[in-house]
Amino acid sequence: MHIERDQELLHGLAANDDKSLETIYLENFPAIARMVMQNNGSEDDAKDIFQEAMIVLYEKVQEGGFVLSSRLKTFLYSVCRRLWLKKLQSSSLSAPLFGELEETTAAEDALEAHLERDRQFKQMEEAMGKIGEPCKTILEDYYIHRQSMQDIAERFGYTNAENAKNQKYKCLMRLKKLFFAPYK
């Protein structure tokens, strides 16, 4: 059954299982590449579009509660199609219109949510870019890669973990200020 297999792959994707990611990637990329390249796109365009669609999918399953209403293939295809169409329209006025295909509302909803997430992603990237080093790496190491304060202290040459903690606290406050600045 396709649906069951798709669900399993999505569970794997949510759990950061490399095998599932690879399977989804390799099975779906060629179709997307064909679609993009048939519509004035290059190989690199195809890669960008497909990877963005994968991000949409990944963040959707990470969020939890994502129920696939169609086949995974169809979902990815329609997300990519929309993304590509949008890119064509923004780059030139004479966007070619390629053949209609079954539209999935799931793709539409996912893209809408993606737009907001993308905005926040960029905002965080910008804030992280502004806080500079060593703040950026300290925060990444501690919060994203979940390294211990002890390891971080050693790596950055702090005499003890307490000093590193103080530094991390200052970095975090700066990041917080920068990240929330547009909201205030």
Partner 1 sequence: MNDIHLIQEIERYLDGEMSAPEKEAFESLRRSDSAIDRQVTEHRLLLQQLRANGMRKDLLRRMDSIHAKAEIPVAPPALAPVVPLRSRRRTWLNLAAAASIALITSLATMAIMQNNAKRSYTSKYEDVRRVLNNIQRSQNALIRDISKNNPPLNPGTYGGTCFAISRNGFMVTNYHVIAGADSIYIQNNKGEAFKAVSIFEDVSSDLAVLRVADSNFRTPALPYSLKLQPSRLGQEVFSMGFPRDEIVYGMGYISAQTGFNGDTLAYQVSIPVNPGNSGAPLLDNSGEVIGIITGKQSSSDGIAFAVKSGHLKRLLDELPKEKFNRRDLKQKSQLGGLNRVDQAKKLEEFVYMVKVYN
Binding footprint of partner 1 on the chain (CB under 8 A):
16, 18, 21-22, 25-26, 29-30, 33-34, 37-40, 43, 47, 51, 54-55, 58-59, 62, 94, 96-99, 117, 120-121, 123-125, 128, 139-140, 143-145, 165-166, 169, 172, 175-176, 179-180
Q: Which residue has the tokens 């329209």?
A: 89
Q: Residue 6 or residue 141: which is nearer to partner 1 going by CB?
A: 141
Do 132 and 107 touch, CB atoms closer than 8 A?
Answer: no
Sign, CA torsion 60/41/36/9:
negative
Task: Find the shortest distance in angstroms from Cβ 153 to partner 1.
Answer: 15
Q: Residue 106 or residue 139: which is nearer to partner 1 going by CB?
A: 139
Cα gap 182→11, rounded to integer Å: 35
Cα gap 108→161, rounded to integer Å: 48
Residue 17: both structure tokens together:
């299982």
Task: Find the shortest distance in angstroms from Cβ 80 to partner 1.
Answer: 14
Residue 156: both structure tokens together:
């950055």
Task: Find the shortest distance in angstroms from Cβ 1 to partner 1.
Answer: 25
